[in-house]
Amino acid sequence: MKTMTCRQLGGPCDTLIHGATSEEMMNAGAAHISSQNDEGHKQAVSMMEAARTDPAAAKAWGDKFEADFTTTPVDA
């Protein structure tokens, strides 16, 4: 299991997000961001939706996320 913050995933806060795989972490982060109702999280949702329609932006985010996830240590 690894832990990253919402902010590390592109969100606005320091809530801890957990996942055993990069896909699990990404899904948990998306669920967190989507479940919040403040302006910062709403902006993050808008950026996620925009990235889905821009393949270059989606690839750039995905590449950065995968690199960040790979270098994040496994929880002790």
More confident residue, 16 or 55: 16
| 13 found inside a domain | yes
Closest CA to 68 of 1, 9, 7, 6: 9
End-to-end CA distance of the chain: 9
Q: In whole angstroms, give the CA distance from residue 41 to residue 37.
A: 7
More confident residue, 19 or 60: 19
Residue 5 CB contacts under 8 Å (≥ 6 apart), including other chains: 11, 13, 14, 15, 16, 17
pLDDT band (50, 70, 90) for residue 16: very high
| 76 found inside a domain | no
Domain assignment of residue 47, given as a range: 2-71
Domain count, the chain: 1
| 27 found inside a domain | yes
Over residues 22-67, the pLDDT tens digits come to 999 999 999 999 999 999 999 999 988 888 899 998 898 899 999 9
